[in-house]
Structure 1
Amino acid sequence: MKWQGRRGSRNIEDRRRAGGAAQVGGLGLLAVLAIGYFLGVDVTPFLQGGGTLGSGGGGEITEADRQEGEFVSVTLADTEEVWDELFRTQVGQSYNPVTLVLYKGVTQSPCGGASGATGPFYCPGDRKVYLDTSFFTTLSRQLGAKGDFAAAYVVAHEVAHHVQNELGILGQANSIRAQVGEAEANAVSVRIELQADCYSGIWAREAQARFGSLERGDVAEAMNAARQIGDDTLQRSAGRIPMPHTFTHGTSEQRQNWFLRGYESRDMRSCDTFSADQI
C-alpha cells in the first residue's frame, strides 16, 4: 500500500502517552484476547496462571509507534475523502468524519474500557473508533493476516461502522438486537459486520481510483485478513467446533464475499445485508 508522504487526518485523538496503561503478557496472550474480542467470548479463564494484565504508564512513543500512527492517520484521511464523495453522490447528504482514538494498553470510552481484550472497535456513544496499534502485530503474527493493507482493512472496517451510524443503520440494528434473544441478536450482529466488510471493499476500490494507493497483492491481503478473522476460522483456531448460533461477525467465506461484493460494485446499495435472503 502506498501511503508514505501523503496527507494525514486531523481527526486523530492520540492518547498513547497517557498514564494508566496496561501491559499484556506476550504475543500469545494477545492472540487469545483478539480471538475473545472477535468471538464475543469470556477470555478470563485463559488469563489465569500467569497471563495477567498489569498496570503501568503509557510509555514513550517509539519509532514503530510513530510510523503506525502516521499509517493510521493517512488511512483515516483516505476514508474521509472517499466517504465524503460517496455520501454526496450516492446518499445525497454530507458525511461527518469519525474521530479515531489511538492508545497504548488501556483507555476509557462511553462503551466501556478499551484494551487488548476488546480489540479495535467503534463506539456509537461518542462516535469514535478506538485502536491500539499493537493489534496490528497480533493480526500479522498471531492471526496470520500480514501486510499493511490488512491493517488498513481493519481501520476501514471500523470506520464503516461509523458510516452505518451516520446512515441510521447501526442504531436501528442495535435496537432490534436489544429486543430479541441471544441467537437472534448474534444473527443481526453478523449482518452488521458483513455490511461493514462490504463498505470496506467499496473504500478499497475507491481509494485505488482516487489515490492509486493499492499495490499488487493488497486486495489479497485484505481478503486473507477477512478469512483469518471469520468466526468459524477463529473458533477452529481456538480448538473449538464452529457453532453458527454463536457467530457475531460471519464466516470467513461470508466476510470475503461481502468485501469482494463492495470492491466490485462500488455501490452502497449492493451492501444491504439486511435485505439479503442469504448472506
Structure 2
Amino acid sequence: MIKLRDLLSESLVLMKGYWLQAIAVFFVFNLIIALVQAIPGIGGFLSLLITGPFSVGVSLYCVKLVNDNFPKFEDLLFGFQFNLGNNILAYFIIIPIVAVVGILLMILFLLINFAVFLLIISVVYTQSYEAFVGTMEWEALLTPFKSLSIGIAAESIMLVLFCILSFCFSFILPWIIAYIPFAMTFFIMAEDTSIDAWDAVQKSWKMMKGYKFNFFVLNLILLLLLALIPFTLFIGLLWYIPFSYVVTANYYEKIK
C-alpha cells in the first residue's frame, strides 16, 4: 500500500524548479479545452476529440517531471503526434462507462442519504416524521430548516450541515469511484505509443487492483485541498491542478 503522506510530500519536492512551467502547461491545456468547448454547436464534440490526446500529453509531461526526465512544454502535444486514433478512442471508451457507473452510484448514494435523513428525522423530529409517513406530506421534512429561521437549535444546525455535506459528497464521490479503475489509462498510453485503446483501459483496470481504496483516499485528500481553493479567490487552482496531476503520476510510477 502506498503511504499517502510520503507520496504528497515527495510530489511537492519533485515539483521544485518546475512550478512555473507546470502552471503554464496546465493553464494552456485548460484554456484550449475551454475555448474549444465555447465554439457554438460543435464545441462539445470537438472537446471530446481533443481531450484524449491532450490527456496523454499532460500525462507524459507529469511522468517526465516525476522522473526528472526533462519535461518540456511541447509534451502537451505528444498525444497528437503518436497513436492519435487510440488516444481519442480511449477517451470515448472511458467516458460512457464512467457516466453510467457514476449515475448509478449517485442514485444509490442519494437514496442512502435520504434513508439516513429519514432515520434522523424519526428520532429528533418524531411528529414531523409521523406526518410524512402518514400523509406523505413532504413539507414535514423541512422542519429542521424551518427551525433555523425560528431560533438556533444545535440539532437543527447539525442536521442541516449533515444534509449539505452528505448530498454534496453524493454528487462528487460517485464520479471519483467510477473513474478510479481507468485513472492510469493515459499514463500507460503516454509511455507505450503502440498500445491500443482497449488494451490500455484493461491494463489500467488490472494495475489498480488492490489499490482502488488507497487511491480513493488519495482523491479524498485532494478533494479536501480543493475545498480550500475558494479562500484563495481561486488563484490557488494554478498550483492545485498541476500538483494533483503530478501526485497521480507519482502514484502511477509506484504501482506500474
Q: TM-score, normalised by structure 1?
A: 0.28
Compare CA radii of gyration and give the structure with the larger one: 2
Higher RCO, Cα 8 Å, sep 6+: 2
Higher fraction of strand: 1
Higher fraction of helix: 2
